[in-house]
């Protein structure tokens, strides 16, 4: 498939950015679609079949649609309904559960063209910018809401696998069914993709920045997934506050709670925990190694961990300084490619497990 040329929308004409929200909705909503996903869970006797809806948007005239990965995860049957009510079959080209992005394709019309949305530069977004969301919340059909950018570079505690990818926070009302829909600036260009909300709050929603979304399109289309370096460990950060809870000395660092078989960490002899302990709302598995440094980077805060993870390259070695039973051990790992996981390939016959890891840092 020929890859679409993704072009960021530069400064639009002033008139394009000052039109009313009503006119903006009329002009941009035809590119927003409703996604219907039929899933089957063979491990349940009841409620085996679920029908869910989400949103997406057309970003290329050949029929390419962007949405959230969790919107299409495990779908036995997928369909897309256009703004005019036309329902089309859809092919899942690629999905990434960690970034929560997916690319779909619908048939391009034989005559005329498809309406498309352009990506804006999300690095230019600032708190206070006016934004609108178009989607299909709660199965009610296409809806528009408006608000502002509440914050940028927001790291979410319940999306730890997106550790390096700050989100855009907005007070624009986002509800179930909006997932995968566009968050537009007042020029009508996409600055983010609606991803999730805080359920116990009012109008605190989060969007995947458009720069991140546009950067993965090529890989998702060509390979059906994103190729990542792999460690094969799962764990939690140990900071000074948590360290004070324990009567025994516990250094700051990344506590290894689980190690995947045949992973680089497993082959290097890194061990996970064996003793589950609940501290407040957190559950930890103690007894495993604590990674206190990656190469020369000491792991004292989450940002230090991310700096260390940024060093990972497939085919390269990396050095871990590990605290184990009161001793410091140096371990060297050969980084390999993350193997295929359920949900990486767009095969309709696969049954996927929804992303988890709440309160955890999934280092994959």
The residues assigned a catalytic role are 70, 100, 179
| Consecutive H or E run containing 212 | helix 210-215
Q: Is 243 helix (H, G, I), strand (E, B) or coil?
A: helix
Give the separation between CA 209 and CA 212, rounded to whole angstroms.
6
Q: How far is CA 273 from the centre of its chain?
A: 27
How is 97-141 classified by DSSP, letter by letter? Answer: TTTTEEEEE-PPPSSS-----PBP-GGG--TT-EEEEEE-GGGS-
Q: Is 304 helix (H, G, I), strand (E, B) or coil?
A: helix
Give the separation between CA 237 and CA 300, rounded to whole angstroms.
8
Give the separation between CA 58 and CA 67, rounded to whole angstroms.
9
Give the separation between CA 274 and CA 280, rounded to whole angstroms.
19
Give the separation between CA 227 and CA 218, rounded to whole angstroms.
12
What number of CA atoms fall less than 13 Å from residue 110's CA on the CB side?
Answer: 0
Output phi, psi for 355, to 5 deg.
-60, 135
Q: Is 356 helix (H, G, I), strand (E, B) or coil?
A: coil
Give the separation between CA 164 and CA 302, rounded to whole angstroms.
10
Give the separation between CA 153 and CA 148, rounded to whole angstroms.
15
């Amino acid at each position: 498939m020929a890859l679409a040329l993704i072009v960021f929308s530069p400064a639009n004409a002033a008139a394009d950015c000052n039109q009313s929200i009503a006119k903006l909705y009329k002009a941009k909503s035809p590119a927003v679609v409703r996604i219907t996903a039929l899933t089957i869970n063979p491990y349940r006797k009841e409620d085996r079949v679920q029908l869910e809806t989400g949103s997406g948007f057309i970003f290329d005239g050949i029929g390419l649609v962007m949405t959230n990965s969790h919107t299409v995860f495990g779908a036995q049957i997928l369909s897309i309904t256009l703004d005019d009510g036309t329902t089309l079959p859809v092919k899942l080209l690629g999905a990434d559960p960690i970034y929560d992005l997916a690319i779909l394709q619908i048939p391009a019309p034989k005559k005329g063209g498809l309406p498309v949305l352009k990506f804006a530069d999300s690095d230019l977004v600032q708190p206070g910018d006016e934004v609108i969301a178009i989607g299909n919340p709660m199965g009610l059909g296409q809806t528009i809401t408006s608000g502002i950018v509440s914050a940028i570079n927001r790291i979410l505690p319940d999306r730890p696998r997106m550790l390096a990818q700050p989100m855009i926070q907005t007070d624009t009302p986002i509800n179930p069914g909006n997932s995968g829909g566009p968050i537009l600036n007042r020029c009508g260009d996409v600055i983010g993709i609606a991803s999730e909300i805080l359920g116990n709050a009012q109008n605190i929603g989060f969007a995947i920045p458009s720069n991140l979304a546009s950067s993965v399109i090529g890989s998702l289309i060509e390979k059906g997934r994103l190729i990542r370096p792999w460690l094969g460990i799962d764990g939690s950060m140990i900071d000074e506050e948590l360290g004070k809870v324990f009567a025994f000395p516990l250094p700051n660092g990344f506590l290894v709670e689980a190690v995947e078989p045949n992973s680089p960490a497993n082959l290097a002899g890194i061990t996970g925990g064996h003793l589950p302990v609940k501290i407040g709302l957190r559950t930890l598995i103690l007894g495993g190694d604590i990674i206190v440094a990656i190469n020369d980077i000491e792991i004292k805060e989450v940002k230090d961990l991310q700096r260390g993870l940024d060093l990972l390259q497939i085919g390269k070695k990396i050095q871990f300084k590990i605290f184990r039973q009161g001793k410091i051990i140096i371990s060297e790992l050969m980084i390999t490619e993350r193997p295929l996981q359920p949900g990486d390939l767009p095969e309709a016959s696969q049954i996927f497990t929804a992303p988890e890891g709440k309160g955890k840092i999934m280092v994959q």
